[in-house]
Structure 1
Amino acid sequence: NWDWRWEWTMRTKPDWFRSRQAQADFLTLPPSRHNDLPWQLLKLFNNRLNDSKANLNTLTGTHTNIPKLRAGFVGGQFWSAYLPCDTQNKDAVKRILEQMDVIHRMCQLYPETFLCVTKSSGIKQAFQEGKVASLIGVEGGHLIDSSLGVLRTLYHLGMRYLTLTHNCNTPWSDNWLVDKGDDEAESQGLSEFGKRVLKEMNRLGVMIDLSHVSVDTMRDALQLSKAPVIFSHSSAYSLCPHRRNVPDDILELVNKTRSLVMVNFYSMFVSCSKDATLSQVADHLDHIKKVAGAEAVGLGGDYDGVTELPKGLEDVSKYPDLIAELLRRNWTDTEVRGVLANNLLRVFSEVEQVSNNMQVPEEEPIPLDELDGSCRTHYGYSQASSLHLQMGALLVSLASLLLSLHPL
């Protein structure tokens, strides 16, 4: 086990910290955040973890490896299982299963470092064993392929949060590019099926993640969810008006619903430029605390999922320097404990409690005519619906043929 208090003191050694040494037990909490290392393992090695260059003890060229995790006193990670939007209506489900598999194999290959867990209590257990609590967050609602059955299956495989969209709409939810004007609103937030997805996530005990979604989707989810929600890697819009960030009126709803915003370190979301600083990240934490409350603040990171990072937060080893900055700004020990882990553990625990009280699963599938993709089969949908769709397609084909023979 790491002696956090003494190692931290030996690492930083500022006078302000030595005077607080008796209160330094907050360092025994496991931080939890969003990390895209599995995406790097896919891109660099096609998930071949036994490749000598993929050894996480010696891995180079990434923001994350085991020595950096140790140096940063990282006791917990939500590893992001992510695939881009170009998998939608193609091989999204296959590819997300592979990314979840590589996270499980990380735990199997490095059992002295990682412990895969699926409960809030498991995070505490992992830290007591001196291991990095490893959880799975699925980044992108397109990865469930508009299927409640796939949603449930991913839960059984360890998914404990789902980001409702990535950088594209799903057939049932709108993404942040709608607010930017680059995408058209299709569901005006959440469709009726999208609302059923939320209800099923509440029933299962899957945290609803609103990073990457449109403001209307944020509002719908915050109003509909029976449990607190999270923004797994988003910052404050008032400080950097990027549409991936959270505006103040939504932060007020975060406060009312006891939800959580975990600050993203991507420079473009921190300073709205390629250059940012650790101090500016702390400004975002300050602002969210001011508007939504100290219990609404967390650390999102987004290491290995972004390119430009703030000066002073170049990789996962730098987390202690950010905590030092918060202490310099007179954050209390309780508030720091919250940022590190307690706020996330509270939300996770409340999501689990809501799950225990909801028994009947959602079963009504998305209407077939709301799905895209030419390679879909229609099994399970009514014969009338299938016939209607087939007749519709036939009429379109006939109309095209007639136009080609007799152009207007």
Structure 2
Amino acid sequence: MNIIDLHCDVLWKMWESNGKLNFSDSQKLDSNRQRMKKGRIKVQCFAIFVPPEVKEEAKFQAALDQVNYFYSEILKTGGMKQIKKWSDLFALKDNETGAILSLEGVDCIGSDLQKLGILYHLGVRLIGLTWNNANLAADGIEEPRGAGLTEFGKQVVRFNNKHHLFTDVSHLSERAFWEVVELANHPMASHSNARAICSHPRNLTDEQAKTLFLKNAMIHVVFYPDFTAQKENVHISDLIKHIDHFCSLGGIKHIGFGSDFDGIDRHIIGLEDASKYQNVINELLKYYSEEQVKGFAGRNFFHHLPINSKK
């Protein structure tokens, strides 16, 4: 089955290496082009992630450098096609893979909404306000004070609403999560699992998950072992428990994948890189119908796109 993956950190890894990694076939990239083709990934979100230790004055340039790798390396590789309008997804040819830019934390724009506008014009279509830390928009899940959105953070969400962009809740503090869900037209979780199955603060509570489903929003399960099971060796069956749980909460038509490949230092056994994606599909087919698994693989995402396909 063709796959839509809502989160990988290839751009961050390429930036960290000063461009020394070849997207086509570098063995240091979980989601290189070769592996993506083998895993049948049809659409991939490439996150722009600027680590918190980067100096404030250098953050926006770091983001632009990652965008440059997207244009000069990702899109120059055979078969990769940028998705700038949601309608572009429906025009992909059989031999093409869609590439979407996302932003994992708005630290890089400081408090300058014009910089977010630049990233939007460059193709960013999914925006998370924070990583784990706090910034000028909101608190992340690891910020002890656990505050919500700032006034600037609310402006960012309104920007997303105006331009028909997804607002990603995956790394937000719980208070910020609830404020985003209240304000955002198109909230979603690009890479999160169920806290009821694995008690990690990065995972979503049942109340959060059910609220997202009621808002007609998606949750994309993540392949990081630490978010999947509290044990040393984590298997695909452990990941499926999260899908089962979200389904039990009413989310069977709201589930997708957000691997976090290239942003994780450990892997689920059998999901070591993007080439292994069909392993999780084959395992799911033991428990769910083909139509349901097609939904998880990507069809659900197509049914939850921001309503204005011209944007």
How does the TM-score come out when normalised to structure 1?
0.73
Q: Does 1:47 align with 2:15?
A: no
Secondary structure in structure 1 of the residue aligned to 2:259: strand
Q: Quick one: which of 177, 183, 186 aligns to 1:228? A: 186
Q: Quick one: which of 203, 214, 219 aligns to 1:256? A: 214
Alignment of structure 1 residues 62-77 onto 2, 5 Å: 62-77=29-44
* Structure 1 pair 276–39 and aligned structure 2 pair: CA distance change class (3 A): same
Q: Which whole-Å CA distance do the structure 2 matches of 1:158 and 1:273 have between them?
A: 39
Q: Does 1:346 align with 2:303?
A: yes
Secondary structure in structure 2 of the residue aligned to 1:171: coil
Partner of 1:96: 63
Gaps of 5+ in 2: none
Alignment of structure 1 residues 104-183 onto 2, 5 Å: 104-110=71-77, 112-126=78-92, 128-178=93-143, 183=144
TM-aligned CA deviation for residue 107 of structure 1? 3.9
* Structure 1 pair 101–87 and aligned structure 2 pair: CA distance change class (3 A): same
Q: Does 1:335 align with 2:281?
A: no
Secondary structure in structure 1 of the residue aligned to 2:101: strand
Conserved 8 A contact 2:221-2:242: yes
Conserved 8 A contact 2:5-2:43: yes
Q: Does 1:38 align with 2:5?
A: no
In structure 2, what residue type is equivalent to 1:211? S
Partner of 1:321: 279
Partner of 1:83: 50
TM-aligned CA deviation for residue 121 of structure 1? 2.2
Conserved 8 A contact 1:282-1:326: yes
Secondary structure in structure 2 of the residue aligned to 1:155: helix
Q: In proportion to residue count, which structure has more helix?
A: 1
* Structure 1 pair 172–109 and aligned structure 2 pair: CA distance change class (3 A): closer
Secondary structure in structure 2 of the residue aligned to 1:87: coil
Partner of 2:176: 217
Partner of 2:162: 203
Name the count of aligned residue pairs: 311
TM-aligned CA deviation for residue 72 of structure 1? 0.5
Larger radius of gyration: 1
Q: Which whole-Å CA distance do the structure 2 matches of 1:106 and 1:184 have between them?
A: 40
Conserved 8 A contact 2:5-2:259: no
Q: Which whole-Å CA distance do the structure 2 matches of 1:272 and 1:189 have between them?
A: 28
Secondary structure in structure 1 of the residue aligned to 2:46: strand
Conserved 8 A contact 1:120-1:345: no
TM-aligned CA deviation for residue 88 of structure 1? 5.9
Partner of 1:184: 145
Q: Does 1:298 align with 2:271?
A: no
Conserved 8 A contact 1:72-1:319: yes
TM-aligned CA deviation for residue 292 of structure 1? 3.9
In structure 1, what residue type is equivalent to 2:230? C
Q: Percent identity?
A: 25
Partner of 1:406: none
Gaps of 5+ in 1: 1-26, 49-53, 357-408
Alignment of structure 1 residues 394-405 onto 2, 5 Å: none
Secondary structure in structure 1 of the residue aligned to 2:303: helix
Conserved 8 A contact 2:166-2:306: no
Q: Which whole-Å CA distance do the structure 2 matches of 1:274 and 1:154 have between them?
A: 39
Partner of 1:311: 269
Secondary structure in structure 2 of the residue aligned to 1:146: coil
Secondary structure in structure 2 of the residue aligned to 1:294: coil
In structure 2, what residue type is equivalent to 1:184? R
In structure 2, what residue type is equivalent to 1:67? Q
Q: Which whole-Å CA distance do the structure 2 matches of 1:136 and 1:41 have between them?
A: 15
TM-aligned CA deviation for residue 166 of structure 1? 0.6
Partner of 1:238: 196
Conserved 8 A contact 2:164-2:186: no
TM-aligned CA deviation for residue 249 of structure 1? 0.4
Q: CA RMSD in A?
A: 1.8
How does the TM-score come out when normalised to structure 2?
0.94
